[in-house]
Amino acid sequence: MINAYRAAMLNRRDFLGRAGSGLSGIALSQLLTSQGLLANTPRPPAIDPLRPNAAREPQFQGAAKRVIVIFCSGALSQLETFDYKPELIRRSGQPLPGAAAGFKSFQGENGNLAAPQFAFQPRGECGKMTSDLLPRIGALVDDFCFIHSMTSKTNTHGPGENFLSTGFTLDGFPSMGAWATYALGSESENLPSFVAIPDPRGVPQSSVNNWGPGFLPAVFQGTPFNQQRPIGNLQAPAGVTPATDRAARRYLQFLNERHQEAFAGDTELAARIASYELAARMQLSVPELTDLSSEPTSLRKLYGADSSDPVKSGFARNCMLSRKLIENGVRFVQLFNGAYAMGEGVGNWDGHRKLKQQYEIHGAILDQPVAALIQDLKSRGLFEDTLLALVTEFGRMPTFQKGASGRDHNPEGFTIFLTGAGVKAPFSYGATDEFGHRAVEDVVTMHDFHATLLHLLGLDHEALTFYHNGIERRLTDVHGKVLTGLLAT
């Protein structure tokens, strides 16, 4: 029976039926897909209700096995980082051509064009111009595939974060990590398949919606924890000895198995027993994973985990945690840089008022740990089949806001970069106009980014669906195209 529930969890019999006899169907669909004949056919994954986290085959051979998304929350300025615009420097202090005096954007009136607040210089063998704000990341530029023509459809942080993380501006849709693990499961027996790592300063604006399951089964949601705030309820209650805890588990097992006897064949009951087993394994594996004391001092230094700034060392430790998660088979890590607990600009990239001063603080936190993470992945051979993306919800205006030395929100053109599995590097895709204001060449939507990300994982964004409320839902809504121009060949 194919109904609304089928996509959530097949029952065990269906699962076995599909896993066995469905192969020919999958082969056929691959054939048809490759010939462009099956673009709109939903092909939701077949999920074993007893092992919803088990690794599943992609729809086709993808370059990436796993993903790290580094989310710079607050709207990281393209103009202070990677989008070098000599014309903006030359015309600094002049009005933005074509704009009425005092034209309004998100926060209100804008002033004149303002040069980047940090100097640019050529880096790497390719000589790509990047700014002095992020020198260590800039030094790795030969490995990066920049997208300079990103756009968003909202200029408001909350909806913008939602759009980036879920493909929809509204709350309540599944996050990209949830979609990826729904499709592919996990390579780890002992860990959740999707982990969200909030910034040491707190959660981003849209908070849990960034890693929520939406209407997908809750098992695919991101499990949020970081070095500062570990998984809740991971330890036995205070005063319960390990021996008693083990005995309690055994006793629970006895009760459940006895109960199960009368319900042989009921998979939901069996799945619950299995979930207690994974929980017990996590109780052991997660503390071990989050314990960084066994990491060499030199490595801790490389990441900046020894920094006297607790935010920087905290973020560095979260970067180290990301690598360990990836190394241990976690499918999708969403690592946050920036939080919204303290308001605009203070704990994030939302530089409205005094952009230079704020970015000096945030740049120092981001730069070294991320650069170290990339190097660490490379040295462990994880870089080839891990996709790492550094993203932000939208960009910033080429003008300063009226009466301020900061930039307002700009969803019409901004920069992100991809590195690792499956992308051309060094490479720059798309471009903004001469002031870095609007994307004008190979304009990329968030949906395109999502389609490309899924493609790199071996998933067809049009076929990875889940029926909800009248629609076969996708991460990309009804839009999106794979950016074939930036794929490694």
Q: How far is the CB of 142 from another protein (least distance, A)?
A: 37
With CB under 8 A as the contact rule, which of the stretches 111-119, 314-322, 336-344, 421-429 interacts with another protein? 336-344
Which residues partner with 147 through β-bridges?
416, 429
Site for another protein in 448-487 (CB under 8 A): 467, 469-472
Residue 328 binds another protein, judged by CB under 8 A:
no
Contact call for residue 101 and another protein (CB under 8 A): no
104, 119, 122, 127: which one contacts another protein (CB under 8 A)?
A: 104
- Interacting residues with another protein between 241 and 260 (CB under 8 A): 244, 247-248, 251-252, 254-256, 258-260
Part of the chain binding another protein (CB under 8 A), chosen from 142-150, 268-276, 358-366, 412-420: 268-276
Nearer to another protein, 341 or 488 (CB): 341
Closest CB 311 distance from another protein, rounded Å: 16
Kindly state whether residue 215 participates in binding another protein, applying the rule CB under 8 A.
Answer: yes
CB 483 within 8 A of CB 452: yes
403 touches another protein (CB under 8 A): no
# residues near another protein by CB under 8 A: 107
Q: With respect to another protein, which residue has the nearer C-beta, 307 or 410?
A: 410
Tell me the window of 115-123, 136-144, 262-270, 479-487 that interacts with another protein (CB under 8 A).
262-270
Applying CB under 8 A, the span of 106-114, 128-136, 356-364, 454-462 interacting with another protein comes to: 106-114
Of positions 54, 99, 273, 361, contacts another protein by CB under 8 A: 273
Q: Interface with another protein includes 209 (CB under 8 A)?
A: yes
What's the farthest any 2 CA atoms get from each other in the chain? 80
Beta carbon nearer to another protein, 20 or 381 = 20
Q: Which stretch binds another protein (CB under 8 A): 54-62, 206-214, 375-383, 444-452?
A: 206-214
Contact call for residue 3 and another protein (CB under 8 A): yes
Of 7-15, 117-125, 134-142, 309-317: span binding another protein (CB under 8 A) = 7-15
Residues 216-245 that bind another protein (CB under 8 A): 216-219, 223, 231-238, 240, 244
Question: Are 416 and 147 a contacting pair, CB within 8 Å?
Answer: yes
Give residues 119-138 in contact with another protein (rule: CB under 8 A): none
CA–centroid distance for 78 within its chain: 19
Span from 101-109, 141-149, 296-304, 319-327 in contact with another protein (CB under 8 A) = 101-109
Interaction pattern, residues 347-386, with another protein; x per rule: CB under 8 A = ----------------------------------------
Task: Give the shortest CB-372-to-another protein separation in angstroms.
Answer: 29
CB of 304 to another protein, least distance (A): 26
Sign of the alpha-carbon dihedral angle for 449, 167, 81, 117: positive
Pairing outcome for strands 144-150 and 128-131: unpaired
Using the rule CB under 8 A, which residue among 25, 86, 97, 485 binds another protein? 25
Residue 210 CA to residue 212 CA, distance in Å, equals: 6
Shortest Å distance, C-beta 148 to another protein: 24
Instruction: Please list every residue from 274 through 303 that binds another protein, using CB under 8 A.
Output: 274-276, 278-279, 282-283
